Amino acid sequence: MVRFNLPVLLILVLGQFSMGGPVRGVAHAAKPGIHVRLAVAQRAARTGTVEGRVIYKTDRKRPWRYARYYVKDRRKGFLAEAVVCLKGKSLKKLARPTRSKTTVINQKNLRFVPETIAIRAGDRVKFINSDPSTHNVSSQGTLHPFDVTMPFGGSATERFNRAGGSRRPIVLGCKFHSQMQAWIYVFDHPFFTVTAADGRYRFTGVPPGTYRIEIMHSAGGLRTSRLVVVRAGQTTTIDLTVSPDNRIKQ
Amino acid sequence: MTQTQLSRRRAMETASWTMAAVAAQMALPGFVFPGEQEDDDLVPFLNMPRSTRQMLDWETLDSWITPPDQVFSVSHYGQPKFDVNKFRLEVGGLVEKPQTFTVDQLRKLPTAERLMTLECSGNGAGKGFLGAIYNGKWSGTPLAPLLKSCGIRKEATEVVFFGVDQKVETIRKVKVPVPFGRSMSVTDALNENNLLAYERVGKPIEMRNGAPLRLIVPGWYGIANVKWLTRIELRDRRYMGRFMGRDYVTVRGERRGGKVVFVETSVAKMNLKSIIARVTRRPTKSGLIPVKAYGAVWGDGTPVKQVEVQVDGGKWRTARLDKKPRSKYCWTFFSIDLGTLKPGKHTVTSRAIDVNGRVQPSARDDEIALKKTYWEAYQQWPREIELKA
């Protein structure tokens, strides 16, 4: 059953009155502002939202040596740089070309910054070198083999067309600086994100259904998942906890 | 007392230090330095690369014996592929009785253990290469008795150690396949501390670290500890292979009168060195922040007299050297209470002084400033931090 909350209902009702009939499409609307709001409201009514935080639960007997980079407040445990995504068969129909976006990965202080990104198939990544030394960006595996070397101030752009999803991230390294590491997750649907320092994630416009929500933290070798039911017009809040129990072999 | 007995006593001593280190670690999971409290907060160093596996993670240094996942490895001709079952060690050249040993035969010879901090001579050349150092316990058979059993001829002056790894090198436009090799004088090679090692910390040496046999030379930089050791050759001429005569050659200017004269020396014994491993803080009180610093000091085995720590270029203050665990060729941990500091950016630096009065130089001192090659990077390393109120 579809349930509307009050603001959504008001927008819908006002929208119907203001335009004097059903909406045929945002692109053909005489008053795009109202139409866009109406379309958003209708979409919100037809879809659901999933949100929450990713929390790292410390086990003092099994310390995670590099947690300091990803868990700024060890008491709260909010996990940064975790990839969160939805997984489900119904998402395959969303695997259509979208306008390509470009994300920048900097090479600064002998690090890839950011270290983990998530993009949609067809998006581009621009690598720039801000260090006063030569860097190299090369990928492991067969999903998207490439190997570029760039001097200080140099840059290179790659387009990633193949989606490896949550299981096959593109692992990057620098041939000159072995400690440099980065991961690119490529998805064929829009429901993915990388957490910031507050550990939050939020997916809106999710078609109703049952999905698996997955968390991957490549640097920490952490992975877990659980089922989530998305209902139209509703927000489902799930805090996802990971611990050393969720470590995978690297 | 025989060499074996000496080694056993030493082994027991080292085992007790190791157990003490393990016990300390168990008592304070995640911390190793005395005086460090569980709720002290780490103050991260500014503008540093993130640590990764197979390099020492200074900021979480929690074990006197380095865990295997933090042990670095460097190979110059790549990790060689060979049949370990057919592996042999040959001893030849200027000896009366050339001999060949299998690893099993070496294992039947008198055993010994050596505790040693092993550092790559390039470690510290840049902020991206600070973790190429580890402390470990090696097991094997002493080198000197084995060499003597081969009958060293009086004209021998040099002992060359070759690894399985090899490469075609171009030397003055001539291409020749050459094995990795390093050498030392007969006197240095007969030092009783040198070991033909087949185990590290109670387990067979990892292939990346030189299995099945590695030369262990306590007090010398990593390059001298030849991995995949397969041939020992005694000679009457200086060996001048790539890693003795071309690479791992320190080029340094020395002031003589008003002139700077450049001298080239082969990288061999380790230099006196210390570094701040981590800085911790307590909550702010009355606008000031209580701060402590922890670190490690090591060298070629010459006893360390003291370590001093300086904040923001101020007065050098003496740190407390841990009494246990200690071993001659291993790092010693130190700690210092820096009192309270104001919020903001600060620089914390350590320097070591040995019993001979040698002082670890700063990057501005001639010893480092006039060094034109990156090996032997033993300069003081200022750590930059930011304290937030």
CA–CA gap between residue A173 and residue A151 (Å, rounded): 16
A75 found inside a domain: yes
- The residues in A 76-115 lying below 8 A from B, measured between CB atoms, are 109-111, 115
Question: Of A45, A60, A76, which residue constitutes the final position of a domain?
Answer: A45
| Vertex B20: Cα angle to B18 and B22 (nearest 5) | 70
All structural domains of chain B? 3-31+65-251 (3.90.420.10), 273-387 (2.60.40.650)
Residue A120, domain member (yes or no): no
pLDDT band at A127 (very low <50, low <70, confident <90, very high): very high
Q: Which of B287, B171, B174, B182 is nearest to B228 (CA)?
A: B182
Whether A149 is in a domain gets the answer no
Select from A60, A109, A181 the Cβ nearest to the Cβ of B52: A181
Put simply, the answer to whether A180 touches B44 (Cβ < 8 Å) is no
Name the residue among A134, A123, A217, A138 with its Cα closest to residue A171.
A138
- Tell me, yes or no, if the pTM score tops 0.90: no
Q: Are residues A37 and A80 in the same domain?
A: no
A19: distance to nearest CA of chain B, Å?
A: 56
Smallest CA–CA distance from A110 into chain B, residue: B49
Whether the pLDDT of residue B206 is over 80: the answer is yes
- The number of folded domains in chain A is 2
Interval B128-164: pLDDT, tens = 899 999 999 999 999 999 999 999 999 999 999 999 9
- Residue A20: the pLDDT is 30
Kindly report the nearest CA distance between residue B201 and chain A, in angstroms.
Answer: 21
- A77 shares a domain with A53: yes
Question: Given this model, what pLDDT does residue B128 score?
Answer: 86
**Interface pTM, i.e. ipTM:** 0.76
B33-86 per-position pLDDT tens digit: 666 677 788 999 998 999 988 899 999 888 999 999 999 999 999 999 999 999
- Domain assignment present for A138: no
In whole angstroms, what is the distance from residue B67 CA to residue B34 CA?
Answer: 19
Residue A221 located in a structural domain? yes
Question: CB B52 to CB A178 under 8 A?
Answer: yes
Angular region, B24: left φ>0, alpha ψ -120 to 50, beta rest: alpha
* A200: in domain: yes
A32 and A71 within one domain: no
Nearest to B29 among A61, A115, A219 (CB): A61
Whether chain B has a CB inside 8 Å of the CB on A197: the answer is no
Over the stretch B283-336, which tens digit does the pLDDT of each residue have? 999 999 999 999 999 999 999 999 999 999 999 999 999 999 999 999 999 999
- Distance, in Å, from the CA atom of B169 to the CA atom of A65, rounded to the nearest integer, reads 41
**A205: CATH:** 2.60.40.1120
In angstroms, what CA-CA distances link A52 with A100, A195, A200?
28, 10, 6
Interatomic CA distance for residues A111 and A99, integer angstroms: 29
Site from B50, B58, B62, B384 to mutate, A interface, most A CB atoms within 10 angstroms: B50
Domain region containing A206: 49-95+189-246
Residue A89 lies in a domain: yes
Residue by residue, DSSP assigns B150-195 as T-B-TT--EEEEEEEEEEEEEETTEEEEEEEEEEEEHHHHT-TT-E
In this structure, are A28 and A68 located in the same domain?
no
Question: What secondary structure, in 3-state letters, does B325-363 show?
Answer: CCCCCCCEEEEEEEEEECCEEEEEEEEEEECCCCECCCC
CA–CA gap between residue A246 and residue A108 (Å, rounded): 30
Asked if residue A84 and residue A65 are part of one domain, the reply reads yes
For B360-374, the pLDDT digits (tens) are 999 999 999 999 999
Asked whether the predicted pLDDT for residue B339 surpasses 70, the reply is: yes
Q: Are A77 and A57 in contact (CB under 8 A)?
A: yes
Q: What percent of chain B has pLDDT over 90?
A: 85
The pLDDT confidence band at residue A250, using thresholds 50, 70 and 90, is: low
- Domain co-membership, A239 together with A200: yes
Tell me, yes or no, whether A76 and A28 share the same domain. no
Question: Which residues in chain B have their CB less than 8 angstroms from residue A69's CB?
Answer: 50
Interface contact B49-A109, CB threshold 8 A: yes
Percent of chain B with pLDDT strictly greater than 70: 90
Which of A58, A65, A109 best tests the B interface by mutation, with the highest count of B CBs <10 A? A65
More confident residue, A105 or B22: A105
Assess if residue A39 is contained within a domain.
yes
